[in-house]
Structure 1
Amino acid sequence: MSLVINHNLMAMNAARNLGESYGRLSTSTRRLSSGLRVGTAADDAAGLAIRELMRADIATMQQGIRNANDAISLIQTADGALQVIDEKLIRLKELAEQAATGTYNSDQRVLIDSEFQAMMSEITRIANATDFNGVKLLDGNLSGDPTLHPGATHNGDGVVSTGPLKIHFGTGNDSAEDYYFINIGAATASALGFWNPLTGANYRIDTQSLAQNMLSVINLAIISKDTIRGQLGALQNRLQNTITNLSIQAENLQASESRISDVDVATEMTEFVRNQILTQGAVAMLAQANSLPRLAMQLIGGG
């Protein structure tokens, strides 16, 4: 190579190598400080796209878990109210049994019937008052199976959804995978069978015959109430299984996202030390290369 003054090719080469080594050193520093192998699209464009989709699914699954937990709280609220109604039904049967015997006169049966009517009114009040976050649970608004009763299907087009309660926990909108419905039957006194269509009022037990007939009606009411509670219990167990499944999915997806996105500290630290040595070497050689044109000045001065 000729000794020239206008161009210092060795310095240019050293400067280029310094820029490359320094750039790789900067990348290693960024990865080690952030913990991410993929910090920008330039690091891994395909990996970045996959990672962001995974992050969206993970966040959605975690919200789905919270949705399922909220649904369990709703079911527990409804079941707690039905437990109170259960106590009222037991008291109703006790009163009917008391009025069915012949040792009480008509005046006494009227008094018994007065408490009987109060208990039925309380059942209706509890059913109409039970709600979760403003959603009425036992008044019949959530009753009906959309697979069996097309007229009672869920409708979420309006500001207030109608029909069975739709619990959404999946990352999409596929009925088989992402949501199902909660149907809760009405638990008012009339819905449990205490309404007399002939008189347009609740049944009474102010006569011995009416009290005796009421015993079987109350049995059917208890069965209807227990059917609702049984369905709620099954739904709660299903939701708990759903939460477990979602937690496992989110955990596995988080592991996959980590393998794409997170930096291997041991490997990256090795690369950092390598680039650090190359950068230091390039700086030293650039300093040496910048001093070489002085040789030409020495030749000129010596001539």
Structure 2
Amino acid sequence: MAFSVNTNAGAMAALQSLNATNRTMETTQSRITTGLNVASTKDDSAKYTVAQTLRGDLGKLNAVTSSLNNAKSVTDVAIAGAEQISDLVNQMKSKALEASDAGLDQESRKAISNDLLALKKQINTVIEGSSFNGTNLLKGTPGTPAGTDADGDPVAAVPGTGGKVSALQSISDGSTLTVNNQGLSTAAAEAFGAAGTDTLITNLQGDDVEGDPDAGTPVAAKGSFAADELLGKLDTFFEEVKTSLSDLGAGSRQIEGQLSFNSNLSDVVTTGIGNLVDADLAKESANLQALQVQQQLGVQALSIANQSPQTLLSLFR
């Protein structure tokens, strides 16, 4: 090999090797810092684009989960209210049955009537308070679905006047999960009168009078007869409360099932993204150790190669 001070081939080769080692070390350090084997489309376009699509799906799943959690909260509040109403109606039924005793004195009936008024007020308070984030599934009119009448003629759906809750159910077809308004405020008003209208209960305090709603001037039932009438209305209301509890329970179980599925699906998608782009840190750590040794050797080799032209000076002594 010719000796030249103009061209140092050994130094150039050592420099190229050192540069290659430095580039590989930068890549390894980036993987260790980010924890990603594919952090950019420059690393691997195919894996990066697939991972980005999955990240988009994961974001959609998070939105669906948030929607379901809101629906679950609304439904759980309604269930708590309906269960409380069920207990209160049972107490009212017991009081009304007690007041239906024809041998009961007026003072006792008055005390029972006051208890019933307090229970009625409590039920109305529960209905009003069973709201979450502005949505109340107990207050309002439930509405009716489309169907046919007794003659087989189609009947259009009648929308309810109260709130209902809908939640996203899937990221693919935009389907929703709906829990309808139960209309217990309307049913309660039919059972024992709207708030401020206590005649059905206060009629228990009078002397026994058998009502006649079909008379020219309708006669209201009073005393034990009023208690019997109220008891019948309470039985009807209690059946509606039971139906509401069943509907709300079914809706809650459906929401919880969808939440569980979404949680599992999110875990699977997250794992899939990791399999595509996550770095093996144990492997990268081992590579970094080897590259650091290579870098030090490369610096030494370049230093030796840079010193080789100095041997030419000995030829001129």
TM-score by structure 2 length?
Answer: 0.75
Identify the residue that residue 244 of structure 1 maps to in structure 2.
Answer: 260
Task: State the alpha-carbon separation in 2 of the partners of residues 277 and 145 from structure 1.
Answer: 78
Q: Which runs of 4+ in 1 moved over 6 A?
A: 145-149
Letter matched to residue 31 of structure 2: R
Give the corresponding residue for 1:157.
none
Q: Which residue of 2 aligns with 1:77?
A: 77
Q: Contact 2:146–2:158 (CA<8 Å) still a contact in 1?
A: no
Partner-residue secondary structure (3-state), 1:140: coil
Alpha carbons 1:61, 1:171 under 8 Å: kept? yes
**CA–CA distance in 1 between the matches of 2:90 and 2:166?**
33
Structure 2 unmatched runs, 5+: 148-155, 205-221
Q: CA deviation at 1:112?
A: 4.2
Q: Structure 1's 19 and 201: CA in aligned 2 closer, same or farther, altered over 3 A?
A: same
Aligned to 2:18: 18
2:276 aligned partner, one-letter code: I
1:24, distance to aligned residue in structure 2 (A): 0.2
Compute the RMSD of aligned alpha carbons.
Answer: 3.4
| Larger RCO, structures 1/2 (Cα 8 Å, 6+ apart) | 1
Specify the alignment match of 2:270 in structure 1.
254
CA deviation map 1:147-182 (0-9, x unaligned):
88755389xxxxxxx85212236446611xxx3112
2:196 is aligned with 1:180: no
2:39 equivalent in structure 1: 39
Q: CA deviation at 1:278?
A: 3.4
Aligned length: 288
Tell me, in whole angstroms, the C-alpha distance in 2 between the residues paired with 1:28 and 1:281: 18
- Residue 110 of structure 1 and its aligned partner are, at CA, apart by 5.7
String of CA shifts for 1:107-162, please: whole Å, max 9, x gaps. Answer: 76566445434433432232123212333332127x447888755389xxxxxxx8
Matched residue SS, 2:2 = coil
Q: Counterparts of 1:235 and 1:190 in 2: how far apart (Å)?
A: 20
Q: Match of 1:95, SS?
A: helix
Find the residue that maps to 2:36 and give its secondary structure: coil
1:278-289 correspondence runs (5 A): 278-289=294-305
Aligned twin of 2:190: 193
Percent identical residues:
21
Residues 263-290 of structure 1 deviation map (CA, whole Å, 9 limit, x = unaligned)? 1134324433443343333323222221
Looking at structure 1, the residues matched to 112 and 291 of structure 2 have their Cα atoms a distance apart, in angstroms, of 93
Distance 1:293 1:139 in 2: 95
